[in-house]
Amino acid sequence: MEEFNLQGKVAIVTGDGRAWSKHIALALAEAGADVVLAARNQKGIEETAQEVRQLGRRAMAIPTDVTKSTEIQKMVERAIAEFAKIDILVNGAELQFAKPFLEVSEEEWKRVIETNLTSVFLCSKAVGKHMMEQKKGRIINIASGLALRGVANSAAYCASMGGILQFTKALALEWARENIRVNSIGPGWFSEEGVSEEEGQKDPLLRYIPLKRRGRPADIGSLVVYLASDASEYVTGQIFVVDGGLIAHA
Amino acid sequence: MVLEKLSLEGKVAIVTGGGSGLGKAMCLAMARAGADVVAAARRVELIEETAAEVRELGRRALAIPTDVTDSRQVNQMVERALSELGRIDILVNNAGIVRGDVPRPIWDISDDDWRLGIDTNLSGAFYCSRAVAPHLVAQKSGKVINVASGWGLRGGRHNYMYCCAKGGVIQLTRSLALSLAGDNVQVNAIAPGLFATAALETPEMREFFAERGRFIPVGRIGSPDEIGPLAVFLASSASDYITAEVFIIDGGGLAGGYAPTGYAPVIPIKED
């Protein structure tokens, strides 16, 4: 389908906390995009950049703390100096965190909110400026099914994810006429890398997931491509949940 | 590779209401992605035209005149699709009527109006799902796509049959998805906002709806060909871990709605 093609487009993908920022980058590259990887984990993003190049696309790995605006600014400037423009921003940075509420320190609360939510604000601001100039752009925020539902011990995490969803809606409205689309994806329970088949079978959550398996990073990639491409021109301000049917009965 | 997952090569799709508007656009998009297509609707000349366009794309096509409010006709349509094309992989429940060309207060809505609205928009989707589901379960793979509406998620003044039926379509989506999940059948809904469809083909209506575009965040109504890629995505293996979900495609309408489109207050933080 021609509409899904990302040839000639440049994407920034942030985040190394979740295995799928790598898979998102590779899905975008498979669809034709050049990719900039921005995260603190230099080794991880270098490796992903190498894999993107093996797909015949250009790639840059720029070590960045996405909670620091000066680092983000430099990253965006370097990306533009190298690739001349940015068409797609995928905000994928995430800090997972769960703890009984009264034990959550103010420090921990701040780290969760900063990594998960403030990073979305800072990166969207730095990249959005260029998207406004070119009057075209796509921002895709990776939130969670926990933007819509709650889980015990997760007040900070849920607040950050709910924040991403509301950020998505408000910014989508503000930039709707600038031809910038802002959407989010809400993954359900996904596999951690390195979990063995046997351990996976003992997973207490499996019984609860209608499709009877945890999600895999590749399950997100194709949706990111849809939302990054011209195929979704009329879609903005939404969250798309990828959770094997979980939220329908939750 | 990610783009190859979107291929529908070798699959057979049934699209109700496939003679016009969004239904026709989804038929053609799925044919371009490789699927053979059954277009089912009441108006035979329209589905014949869709079928002819599908064949021009090099795919097999059947036009089966069907009134989806009549479960016997639905069952016959599914039988014929199976016997002539050999299988069914995708069902798109798209047939619907807006009804209420003149919005009426509730006390002026007749039993017949209510029934026709509910039967076409909701019961039709139920009948088609009931007829197709056993085949999808037997082959342990399949996709059902229900076309709901933004009106299934928000209320509308003097808008009863459509809002209730489309809300019902969303609940049908969720329950069917949960029921068939163990058999590798995924069921999702598309909730379109305002689109330029066949009902809008007169110049006056076109002008009216272009004007309505001003009230949509992106500044225009949708064009039917914009729904095609989403239908292909949901019909393909690219969406295998997505089920029971509602895909809203509405130019930003449902993201807002709490204030008029374009309302953008500026309120600085007041220092004490």
pLDDT tens string B11-37:
999 999 999 999 999 999 999 999 999
Report the residue from B2, B182, B193 with minimal CB separation from A212.
B182
Chain B residues close to A1, C-beta within 8 Å = 3, 6, 29, 32-33, 229, 232
For chain B, domains (ranges, CATH) are 4-192+227-248 (3.40.50.720)
Which residues does chain B have within 8 Å of residue A31's beta carbon, measured at their own beta carbons? Answer: 2-3
| Sheet architecture: strand order including A180-187 | A59-63, A34-39, A10-14, A88-91, A137-142, A180-187, A239-242
Contact A1 B243 (CB under 8 A): no
Q: Phi, psi at residue A175, to the nearest 5°? A: -110, 15
Whether the pLDDT of residue B100 is over 60: the answer is: no
Residue B159: pLDDT over 70: yes
- A242 CB neighbours in chain B (<8 A) are 241-242, 245
Q: Which helix (H) or strand (E) holds B107?
A: none
Q: Poorest-confidence range of A194-203, B121-130, B173-182?
A: A194-203
CA A136 – CA A110 distance, rounded (Å): 33
Local structure of A194: helix, strand or coil: coil
Which regions of chain A does DSSP assign to beta strands (E)? 10-14, 34-39, 59-63, 88-91, 137-142, 180-187, 239-242
Of B178, B229, B255, the CB nearest to A236: B255
* A5 neighbourhood in chain B, CB within 8 Å: 3
pTM, full prediction: 0.94
DSSP character at residue B18: T
With an 8 Å Cβ cutoff, are B6 and A222 in contact?
yes
Catalogue all structural domains in chain A, each as residue range(s) with its CATH number: 2-249 (3.40.50.720)
Q: Write the CA distances from A178 to A172, B221, B239, B260, integer angstroms.
A: 10, 16, 29, 18
Residue B99 — very low, low, confident or very high, per pLDDT cuts 50/70/90?
Answer: low
**Checking phi first, is residue B170 left (phi over 0); if not, alpha (psi -120 to 50) or beta?**
alpha
For CA atoms B30, B35, B39, B45, the dihedral sign is positive
Instruction: Answer whether A173 sits within 8 Å of B256, measured CB to CB.
Output: yes
Residues 217 to 256 of B: which have CB under 8 A from any A CB? Answer: 217-219, 222-223, 226, 228-230, 232-233, 238-245, 247-252, 254-256
Distance CA A31, CA A226 (A): 10
Positions of E strands within A100-145 = 137-142
> Shortest CB distance from B181 goes to which of A169, A210, A222?
A210
pLDDT at res. A139: 98
Nearest CA in chain B to A178: B218
What per-residue confidence (pLDDT) applies to B212?
87
B171–A contact, CB cutoff 8 A:
no
Residues of chain B numbered 176-205 and touching chain A (CB < 8 Å) = 177-178, 181-182, 184, 186, 193
- 3-class DSSP assignment, residue B240: coil
- The sheet carrying B142-147 orders its strands as B61-65, B36-41, B12-16, B90-93, B142-147, B185-192, B246-249
- In the residue annotation, A157 being an active-site residue is answered as yes
- Structure tokens that stand for B187 in this block: 């069921």
Tens of pLDDT, residues A40-76:
999 999 999 999 999 999 999 999 999 999 999 999 9
Chain A residues near residue B242 by CB distance under 8 angstroms: 219, 223, 240-244
Which residues, given as ranges, of chain A have pLDDT below 70?
17-19, 193-197
Quickly state the pLDDT bin for B206 (edges 50, 70, 90): confident
Q: Which residues pair with B39 in a beta bridge?
A: B15, B63
pLDDT digits (tens, 9 = 90+) for B33-91: 999 999 999 999 999 999 999 999 999 999 999 999 999 999 999 999 999 999 999 99
